[in-house]
Each structure stands twice: as structure tokens, then as C-alpha cells.
Chain A
Amino acid sequence: MPNIELKDILIAARQEAYRMRHFYIGAEHLFIALLQIRGSLASHIVQHYGLTPEYVINAIRRKLGKGGKHRLWADVPKTPRAEVILSIANDLALDNGREQINERDILIALFEEYENIPMRVLIALGLNNPRELIELAQNTATHSSSQQPYIRIDFGQHFEPTDKLSRDEAFILRRMFYGYSQIRVERRLTSGYSSATLLVVTPIHVDKREDAAVIVKINQVDSILDEAQRYEAHVKTKLPPMTARIEDKPIAPEQSDLAGIKYTLIAGYDRVPKDLRAIMATWTPKDIGEWLKNELFPPFSHSWWKQNRPFRFQVWREYDWLLPPVLTLEFSQKEFPSNGHVIRMPIKRAKLRRLDYGDVVAVENFIVQRVYPDRNTIQLAVGNNTDSTNAYKIEVRGVNLEENTYYRGEVVENLVGTVWQTRAQQLLLALRALEPDFDAQAEKIPINNKEKIPNPILAYEGLLDSYVNGTLCTIHGDLHPGNIMIGPNQSAFLIDFAHTRDGHTIFDWVTLENSILNDYVMSATDGSWDAARMVVNHIIKLNGGEFIDTTLSPAIARLETVRYIREIARQCLAEDDKWSEYYTALVFCGLRTLTWETASIGGRRLMYLVAGLAIRELRTRFRPSSSSETPSPDDTDMSLSL
């Protein structure tokens, strides 16, 4: 029974009003108070719709923003609308023969009033049926669903026995498959750069009848819920008829920091789907290439990669986010000194470059991307959204999150900190971790007896300001062999739409090449610097369209797959055979892999060299001719970088 008293709700509402510097009690503070109470009716209802209380609270905070620094009145008044809501709640209590207003009364009153801010936020999040909400509020009992349904979890023969599921993961699976008597976890798929768990799961009925296998993704609550919202808004209508879809609401239990989402494979077959990564070992490099070209590219190209909308952009907008944070700051409460540095849009990179350890910096009008309560850290970036692809990330450590409330999407007008680490330092450390057998700070790095490439960690920067003429389309955003599934008759499915967005078309193919080089080509070597240089020397030939002797070594044979990816990419170039947009993307994807601790050392070594080689290609193959007035071959403005 909802038994939280009005008095306690008002105390929690007042606390929220203080946290947000609002100093009044409005409908929003009442609703947030209801959501914050563990196991409350309000939190049950938002979970019923696949959201979590925290997600909804952050959305409400984001819509309103914090109040100004100055308090204009002494007490904490209720807004006229809050008074109306409380009087509706009072009527509801009286109708039920009670003198005290309870949680349920306030919740129903908020839903009935329906023009208040929390209601408008719920509608925006897809809870757009006030009638249904009121019925739920009237009929939901709060104690029952906290019980854990028992569903047996078995493991298939392809599941590594050492690779146990965590308690939270098992909990989410049991919630998700409520109604079945058991499930079989067939295998774990390797996820990309996220920390997500991807599982292939077969649900089994009481009578042992098995349903078609589905793919379950488990990750941090915020990213799963964002993915569900993104899927509804951008992906759903653009998928080819046969592919993986999200058909159910996400499962986000209040007791856990994790949430889960289910991809149903629309195919009607009973085999366990396999991901391309699992199958690559049994196919030849040519088979893989042919399959990508004939099975993956065509069905998706119409609504995705072949949209061909012209897109001219400055490189940092699409690619800065792949690099480490531009700055890591230590939060400071001190006065901002007169010689301090202010960072605001437009970013002056020359100014950033001069910053060093201990410098005092004020960051103005950046957006909170993420809050890490366990590390007392927040991540800021520019842009008006909380996309993972926002440029100029700044990490702020040592924030006392008990004293200062920060929420995703908040515009931080001013924050002062001292520089703890710069991007240049972080890239250098990442390179040193690979034990280079050359000078990590040299301008040029040898790749064979005669040739050198620019050191990408020093040479990438000017590229960020150059312009690229490319195309825009719906991109997957994390296209790698673990997210590409093979169904019946060799048909292709994509899963994991957490990063799907409108972006630079070429990015998907560069990401795929990157991942093939790093996991597939490099894994056929001993992972040494010599092996990485050997591979890169053959990539030079590939770039030049020269013959590669695939009998030389297994790793070189595997470059054949990359040749196919280039063939697909060729069809996506903005202008025929103008590859500079591809190489530009390759520089940043390579540098990202360099800092990726989950990639193999050999893979990171190769990707570092690939980034350097891509810069060399941009400088030599696409250099604007200096002797004449003709523009650069593909009109890509490289003047700043070269």
C-alpha cells in the first residue's frame, strides 16, 4: 500500500528545490520527490514504461535548468499549480474516506492536472496517455513486483564456463524473460568500445518449447535508455524488412545500475544467430569480403549508406570525440585568478595547447555529458545535446557530488578547475604503454629502411580545423564484426544501435576497416612492432591500388577483406575516387584505438601506424598543388594541416 505521508513528500520536494536553487515547491519537485522514494508508486510506473526514476528526474531537471545565484524570497512557497495539485489530491483522499493525503493521491493529481512540467516531460519520453497513467496509478500495488521471478538460466555449449554472468546481469535476464520457465544463454558476443554485455539467449516455455533466439544487451542504465529513445526516434523506420529490432521496452530494475534491452531477429528460423566475428575464423578473407559486399551493404544501403546527402563539415565536429578529453581538470573552489584561462566556444586550440599541469582554467557554458558518482567525476563537452559524439570533452575530477548536484544535459555556466592532464599527455602515455622501439616524441617515425610517416599524436591536430566534403546518412556508428550478425541463407543483420545517428557516411566503413585490421589482420601476427610495420607496408600498396602477394603470410592474406571494405567505401565517397575523406576518418579512428585499453597491444600498435600513414597519404596524395591556382584535387581544404 502506498503509505508515504504528505509531510515526507514535502520534505523531499523542498530538498530538491534547494538542490536546483529554485526555492519554491512546484509540481516538478513533488514528482521528483515521489520518484526519489525507493519502491514508490511513481518509480514503479516509470519502470513499467521501461524508464528509471533517475532518468526521468534528470530529464525534468534538464528541461528546467538550475535557478540563478541570487535568492529572491526568504521562504519556500508553493506555486499556484502545486496548490491546485494538492487540492485535487485532498479531494481524492476525502473521496476515499481518508483525512491524510498519500503518495497515490498526489500522483493521480499530477496526472490529472496534466499541464504541469513533469507531465510534459513524461509525454516527451513517450508516456503520452494520461488516462492509462491514471489507471496504473489507481491499480498498481507497490509490493508485488519487487519479488524476483524464478527462471532457470542454463548455458549453451558455446558459452565459456569461466565467463560467468554477474548477479545483476542474471537479475535483468530473469526480469526480461518473465513468463518463460527457463532460458539458455547460448553465447556471449564481443561488444565494441562500450562496456556492454551482449548475449544470445533462447527462451524456453514450461512445455520445453523453444522460441527463436534473441540478443540481449546489458549496459549502464543511461546508455540503454538513450538507445531505446534513439531507436524509437531514428532507427525504427529506417530498417530493412529482415533485421534485428527492438520490440519490447527496456528492463531497468530500480535495484541495479544496469539495464537490458532485447533485439528480436525478424527471420522466423530456429538456428542460433552468429556474429561475424565468430564466423571469421572459418571463412576465407575473400569469403568475408564477398559477404560484406553482397549481403550486408545492399539491403541497408537504400535507407542508410546510399542516402548521399552532401555534407561539408569541419573535421572536429565529426571526429574530435574519438580522441581523449582535451583536458582533465581537478575541481577547484578557489577564486578565479586574473591570469586564469577561460575556455568557451569557439574553442581556440592554440590556447588549449599552451595549458599545462596546474594552470587554472574556467570552463564556460559546457554541457554535462555524464556524471560518475562513484569517481566524483563529471564529463563536459560542447554542443547542445548529450550525444556521445560531442566534441571537446573535458573531464572534471574531485567534484563533491554530495554538495553540488550535476545532471546530464545541464548547461554549466561556469566551472573552475586546475589542469591535471592534457590530451597531448594522454596520447603520449598511450603510445608509451605500447613500448615503442622508436622515439615517441619524434616528428617522423620510420616504417622501413627508406620511408617515414608523420607521428600521428603530434600531427593530427591541424586536421581538426580542415573541411571535408563528404556525404551524410544514417550511420550505425559502431560497425564492427561483433555487431554484424549472420542469419539464415547468409543474410545480414545489424544489432546495437546505441550510436546510430546522422553522420559522415564513410565513418561506418572506416570503423569496420579499423576493427578488421586490429582484431583480424593483426591477430594473425605476433603483435610486435616489426609485425605492425610489415602490415603497414602492405597497406601502402593497398592504398596505391597495387598488387599484394597474399601468399606471403596469413596476416597479409587477411588484408584481402580490407580491400573489399575499400570497394564498398568507394561507392560511398562523395566524389569518385576522392579518398581524402576516408583517410581523414582513418586518422581519428586509428588514434582512438591507440587509447583503447581493451584492444590488443599488437592491434593498437598497428592502428597507431595506420593513423600516421593516413596523415602521410593526405599530405602526399592529396596535397594542393602549390605551383598553380587549382584547388586541391577534391576541393578538400587541407591548407591548415599541411
Chain B
Amino acid sequence: MKITITIMSGVEDGNTLEYDSSRGDGQQDQGKWRLSIGRKDENDICLKSDTYISRWHANIIYEAGHWLLEDCKSTNGSFLENPDDFFNDIPIQDTVILNTHQLFRIGKTWLRIETIE
């Protein structure tokens, strides 16, 4: 399985990151595929340029046909774009389902899932 994630704001705005489970990216466990997001080098999705991102901030998880976003009790939170109010993002408690092209925010950086193969 392959996934591409695009950075939608900040100094890396426009960069696309590619992950491939067959290449050994992320962690696989009982049909789950997990990609960690954070400021530390050991993360699969390492975002160093946003100081509002925690060292281990969030996970993107593929499970039972869905992509999920899980916040790892980060200091500044993870958010979804709010369809009803563009300027007030929806904070994520624990885990939410993530759709392709749906924008989500980790610290101050907006991201989205671009493609899934």
C-alpha cells in the first residue's frame, strides 16, 4: 500500500511525502499500518520546521478500510478543517476518520492525504 501526503502550509508548503508499506515505511501490526507524525527524527512523517508540533504528535493509521488520525496528547493539538466555520478548526479528541483530500492541522501545519494506492 502506498500513500502520499501533501504539506499545505508553512515553510514546506507544497511538498509531497510518499510512504510505501512494502518498502517498510511505518509500522505494521495485525492489518494496521501506522505512520507517526512529530518533530523528532524517528517519526515517519518528520516535521521539524514547526515549533508548535510535539516530538511525538499524532499518528495516521490505516485500519479496516479507513484512514484514521490519532492525536497523541500533543501540546498544541491536532485539528480538522471546519466546513461550517473556516476560521475555527475542530480539535480532535483521540481519533477521527480522515478522508482523502480532507485538510488536517498538526500544530500550525496543514496537511492532507493526496492519494492512496
Contact = CB atoms under 8 A, between A and B. Distances in A.
Given A62-B87, A63-B87, A121-B86, A79 B13 contact: yes
Given A65-B108, A68-B52, A82 B88 contact: no
Given A68-B51, A72-B48, A72-B51, A80 B12 contact: yes
Interface in B1-34: 8-15
B49 interface: yes
B108 A79 contact: no
Contacts of A64: 9, 108
Given A62-B87, A64-B9, A79 B14 contact: yes
Contacts of A117: 8-9, 13, 110
Contacts of B52: 68
A80 B87 contact: no
B13 A26 contact: yes
Contacts of B10: 24, 26, 79
A62 B88 CA distance: 10
A208 interface: no
Interface in B49-84: 49-52
B8 A115 contact: yes
A409 interface: yes
A84 B51 contact: no
A240 interface: no
Contacts of A124: 86-87
Interface residues of B, number: 18
B95 to A, nearest CB: 23
A81 B9 CA distance: 9
Nearest to A78: B11
A26 B51 contact: no
A89 to B, nearest CB: 15
A75 to B, nearest CB: 11
A59 B86 CA distance: 10
B105 to A, nearest CB: 10
A441 interface: no
B13 A82 contact: yes
A77 interface: yes
Interface string B29-52: 000000000000000000011111
Interface in A4-41: 22-24, 26-27
B84 to A, nearest CB: 9
Contacts of A67: 51, 108
A385 interface: yes
A64 B86 CA distance: 11
Nearest to B50: A68
A550 interface: no
A300 B9 CA distance: 44
A385 B88 contact: yes
A448 interface: no
A79 B11 contact: yes
A70 interface: yes
B11 A77 contact: yes
Contacts of B49: 72-73
A384 interface: yes
Contact of A80 (B15, B50, B88, B108): B15
A84 B11 contact: no
Nearest to A68: B51
Contacts of B14: 79-84
30 contacts: A22-B11, A23-B11, A26-B13, A27-B13, A59-B87, A63-B87, A65-B108, A67-B108, A68-B51, A68-B52, A69-B51, A70-B51, A72-B49, A72-B51, A73-B49, A77-B11, A79-B11, A79-B13, A80-B15, A81-B14, A83-B14, A115-B8, A116-B13, A117-B8, A117-B9, A117-B13, A117-B110, A121-B86, A385-B87, A385-B88
Ranked nearest first, the 3 interchain pairs of A and B with the lowest CB-CB distance are A81-B14, A80-B14, A124-B86
Given A73-B11, A79-B13, A120-B86, 16 more contacts: A24-B11, A62-B87, A64-B9, A67-B51, A68-B52, A70-B51, A72-B48, A80-B13, A81-B14, A115-B8, A116-B13, A117-B8, A117-B9, A117-B110, A121-B86, A124-B87
